[in-house]
Amino acid sequence: MSRTLPGLGLGALRCALRRPISVAPVARPLSSSSATSKPRLTSSSSIPSTSLLTKERVTALWARQPHPAAPAATMTHRLLQRAFSSSPLGRIRDHYNRSSGSGSPPPRPGVIATIRARVNRWNPTYVVYAIMALNLIIFLAWQYAISSWQRFRDPALYNWLWKNFILSIPNITEGRIWTLITSTFSQMSTSHILLNMLGLYFMGPAVAGLLGAFNFLGLYIGGGLFASMCSLLYQMLNRNKHRRVAGSEGASGAIYACLAFFGTIFPQATFLLFFVIPAKAWMVVTGIFIWDFYHAITSRQGLTDSAGHAGGIAFGVASGLYARQKYLGSWRRSFRL
């Protein structure tokens, strides 16, 4: 599945003041001690000494003398700092903490804010490629483990991968809860990883460029985690029925979260199904959700984790609705949509 995306070129965000604010220097008259009278020249008087303070020397000496900042400059600085503070919450803190003094150092950012700032320095597209590389590494590990078991009768690596990269009820009950995340980076078959990485390659950079590296990782990992929880719940509900699920793995739940997020933000965007059939984004997201939800309810035989797919789509739609309410206006102004 491919798609035709609207222009999402990330132009530099420009912000300019309507009117430049300049502070005029405040002139201060020279004191009586520094003022000198022009010497009266007579025929008998000698050539004036170079120690006499000419107008240029007085100006130069005055410029070298330290003098306090003008009150107007200090007031302008305070007005600018208050008008262009980083957040409304910061203005509220400044308003109620005036007793601390204007010279107090700003508070240190929290741990999450520091991590967010560092992660957002990464190129969002490279983050997508790193996720694809991680999926490929785990896929190659699976292939080596399967080959070792078949050729050398050595199941050690296969068992280790199964315990740490497959979402199953035994793994969770035995305390390996990290499989809720690690299973979203695991693909055992060639067709599985090709389809998933193809979808991530086309959809990932667009969403990552829109959200930034930190928020994209939050969407991707959060969508995969919620999809795993839905898949695990489905396995528990069908534990004693005719369809027993040994385990689940794959990045499709996280990728569907990205797809649903983009479709919720830009419902009129055009996707190309099978590289040929054009369809609106909201139609694609709705159709996939209905199909997977129906497939999970009817419990038909198959190798598709429909419950995980539906969970990933639900997470992406919820995240998209939240983002539309909070950020859509600024995105449209930034990207000229």
Tens digit of each residue's pLDDT (9 = 90 or more) over 91-138 = 333 433 444 444 555 667 788 889 889 998 999 999 999 999 999 999
Let me know: does 135 contact 185? Beta carbons within 8 Å: yes
pLDDT over threshold 60, residue 75: no
- Per-residue confidence at 73, pLDDT binned at 50, 70, 90? very low
SS3 for 61-113, per residue? HHHHCCCCCCHHHHHHHHHHHHHCCCCHHHHHHHHHCHHHCCCCCCCCCCHHH
Amino acid at site 44: S
More confident residue, 109 or 214: 214
CA nearest 155: which of 146, 142, 164, 167?
146
Residue 49's pLDDT band, with cuts at 50, 70 and 90, is: very low
Q: What is the pLDDT of residues 139-172, one digit of tens each?
A: 999 999 999 999 988 899 999 999 999 999 999 9
Q: Domain coordinates of the chain in residue numbers?
A: 116-335
The pLDDT assigned to 105 comes to 59
| pLDDT above 50 (res 309) | yes
What percent of the chain clears pLDDT 90, i.e. is strictly above it?
41
- Residue type for 148, please? S
Does the pLDDT of residue 282 top 60, yes or no?
A: yes
Percent of all residues in the chain with a pLDDT value above 70, rounded to a whole number: 62
Residue-wise pLDDT for 247-271, tens only, equals: 899 999 999 999 999 999 988 888 8
Q: What is the pLDDT of residue 23?
A: 39
pLDDT digits (tens, 9 = 90+) for 18-33: 333 343 444 444 444 4
Classify each residue of 177-187 as buried b or exposed e, where b means 16 or more C-beta atoms within 10 Å of its C-beta. eebbebbbbbb
Helix, strand or coil for residue 14? coil
pLDDT bin (cut points 50, 70, 90) of residue 336 is low
Domain at 116-335, CATH homologous superfamily: Rhomboid-like (1.20.1540.10)
Most confident of 70-74, 220-224, 270-274: 220-224
pTM for this one? 0.65
Question: What would the pLDDT profile of 185-200 be if each residue is shown by its tens digit?
Answer: 999 999 999 999 999 9
Q: Is-contact 131 221, C-beta < 8 A?
A: no
Strand order in the sheet with 277-280: 2-4, 270-273, 277-280
Residue 248: burial class (beta carbons within 10 Å; 0-12, 13-18, 19+): buried
